[in-house]
Copies of this chain bind each other. A is one copy, B any other.
Amino acid sequence: MKTLQKEKPSLHVFDTLESEVRSYCRSFPTVFTKAKGYTLWDAAGEEYIDFFAGAGALNYGHNNPVLKQKLLQYIQEDGVTHSLDMATEAKQQFLERFRQVILEPRGLSYKVQFPGPTGANSVESALKLARKVTERSTVIGFTNAFHGMTLGALSVTGNKFKRSGAGVPLHHSVSMPYDGYLGENFHTIDYMENYIQDTGSGISLPAAIIVETIQGEGGINVAGAEWLRRLEKLCKEHQIVLIVDDVQMGCGRTGTFFSFEASGITPDIVCLSKSIGGYGLPMALTLIRPELDIWEPGEHNGTFRGNNLAFITASEALRYWENNDFSKEIIDKGELLNLRLCSMVSSFPQLKGQVRGRGLMQGIAFETNGVAESLCELAFSKGLIMETSGTDSEVAKIMPPLIIDQTGLNRGLDILEQCMKELAARHYALA
């Protein structure tokens, strides 16, 4: 462990030419050049352990070597790169593999839509389809939800700062309290049920409810399995389309391929993106219960639905899911992570931290605003990349690539622990 010493590469070009909207390059002020597994290097040669993993897009690590070989070979041989939604061999192979490795073993019969290469595309397509199917307009989203930055996705996102960026009032959505939003004794499903059933509640019967099983951006809020089952039941009883946005929590982040597997529910529509491409390449899927697949041809489209390079790496990445080994590894590493985080939190009680999350999506929520930000800033100075989440950036989030080994995980956590220690010391100095 060390504090990085070399002079940081200049960000002049970014500061002068890129829009003010840029953000992560402000939190991690250096210029990155290379990456491998859970490690990034910058232009000054400094090395960083990556506990951010492309916000969940790099579950299989940076430049995963197996995927890389397939990718290089495909490009070398002039496989079709861009194909709109024409049929290609690469896409065919992906569809077959996805059915064989993911859908069939789980007893799922979803139809697969390629809605455009981003999570927001998947969310937008899911909302459109749910409205078309039900001929209703309202969609229920949850407090602290994050579903993306396009107008439809924003309308079911909780964050006021992001919402106000729309520049127009957001319509056709209702925000309901997420599991635990009002404390343990308040049953938010009861509340929602009441609103939906009561003819005087002031909301229409919704077309859909869209939910994340864990709210990553919203502060690592975890929905209980029982809560999810009651949510599914509520949807079934009222013919409401249940959409699980598994963009960040899917592809193994919580220990199973889909984050909802542990709860036993089967959503009507599932949104996947981020790590589905395997290599960090833009790709997204919308999985649709067959009865709901009433799209007209071309009713939703997009230029980059056929990113074949992503199909190649996506197919290859499914290797990780051919048996249960990877899943077990994630859960084991998640337990290690949890133990260490809990230990840190109790070692430095003055920081008033609370461990949240499961699998390799965990974090520490701090009572005092600013602590998580200081922690991440300090971590970066010591060669560890991690980000905050929560609307007040009150949670320090740990989401390493799933392929990280225990050594790497412990190295990162050692840095984190050192940072906690320094912050706690500062705290004493201030007190």
Q: What is the interface of chain A, defined by CB distance below 8 A to chain B? A: 9, 11, 13-14, 17-26, 28-36, 40, 43, 52, 54-58, 62-63, 68, 71-72, 75-89, 91-92, 95-96, 99, 111-114, 116-121, 124-125, 127-132, 137-138, 141-145, 148-153, 155-169, 171-175, 181-182, 186, 191, 194-195, 198-205, 207, 218-219, 247, 273-274, 279-282, 286, 288, 293-304, 307, 309, 390-392
A367, chain B: closest CB distance, angstroms: 15
A51, chain B: closest CB distance, angstroms: 14
Task: Using CB atoms, name the residue of chain B closest to A299.
Answer: B165
Given contacts A75-B68, A151-B151, A202-B157, contact A282 B33 (CB under 8 A): no
| In-complex Cβ contact of A144 among B26, B43, B200, B207 (8 A) | B200
Q: Are B35 and A300 in contact (CB under 8 A)?
A: no
Q: Are B88 and A31 in contact (CB under 8 A)?
A: yes
Given contacts A95-B17, A198-B143, A274-B303, contact A55 B78 (CB under 8 A): no
Cα–Cα, bound, A25→B149 (Å): 29
| In-complex Cβ contact of A92 among B14, B75, B88, B186 (8 A) | B14
A-B contact pairs, 24 of them (CB 8 A): A14-B87, A17-B96, A20-B293, A23-B301, A24-B84, A28-B87, A31-B89, A34-B80, A52-B84, A54-B83, A124-B150, A131-B166, A151-B152, A151-B153, A158-B202, A160-B202, A161-B199, A173-B202, A174-B174, A174-B175, A175-B201, A182-B191, A281-B309, A282-B282
Task: Using CB atoms, name the residue of chain B closest to A29.
Answer: B87
Contacts of A87 in B (CB 8 A): 9, 11, 14, 25, 28-32
Q: Are A307 and B282 in contact (CB under 8 A)?
A: yes
Q: Are A297 and B26 in contact (CB under 8 A)?
A: yes
Given contacts A92-B13, A150-B124, A300-B21, contact A54 B199 (CB under 8 A): no
Q: Are B199 and A392 in contact (CB under 8 A)?
A: yes
Cα–Cα, bound, A127→B182 (Å): 30
Cα–Cα, bound, A173→B141 (Å): 16
Q: Are A120 and B131 in contact (CB under 8 A)?
A: no
Task: Using CB atoms, name the residue of chain B closest to A141.
Answer: B202
Pick from A144, A161, A166 the residue with the most CB of B within 10 Å.
A166
Q: Are B296 and A20 in contact (CB under 8 A)?
A: yes
Contacts of A76 in B (CB 8 A): 72
Q: Are B62 and A130 in contact (CB under 8 A)?
A: no
Q: Are B169 and A33 in contact (CB under 8 A)?
A: no
A154, chain B: closest CB distance, angstroms: 8
A57, chain B: closest CB distance, angstroms: 5
A177, chain B: closest CB distance, angstroms: 8
Q: Are A85 and B23 in contact (CB under 8 A)?
A: yes
A41, chain B: closest CB distance, angstroms: 9
Q: Are B120 and A302 in contact (CB under 8 A)?
A: yes
Contacts of A175 in B (CB 8 A): 174, 195, 201-203
Task: Using CB atoms, name the residue of chain B closest to A144.
Answer: B200
Q: Are A40 and B150 in contact (CB under 8 A)?
A: no
Task: Using CB atoms, name the residue of chain B closest to A194.
Answer: B182
Given contacts A57-B303, A75-B68, A392-B199, contact A296 B21 (CB under 8 A): yes
Q: Are A167 and B301 in contact (CB under 8 A)?
A: no
Task: Using CB atoms, name the residue of chain B closest to A286.
Answer: B19
A18, chain B: closest CB distance, angstroms: 6
A165, chain B: closest CB distance, angstroms: 4
A220, chain B: closest CB distance, angstroms: 13
A173, chain B: closest CB distance, angstroms: 8
Given contacts A89-B31, A127-B167, A169-B169, contact A162 B299 (CB under 8 A): yes
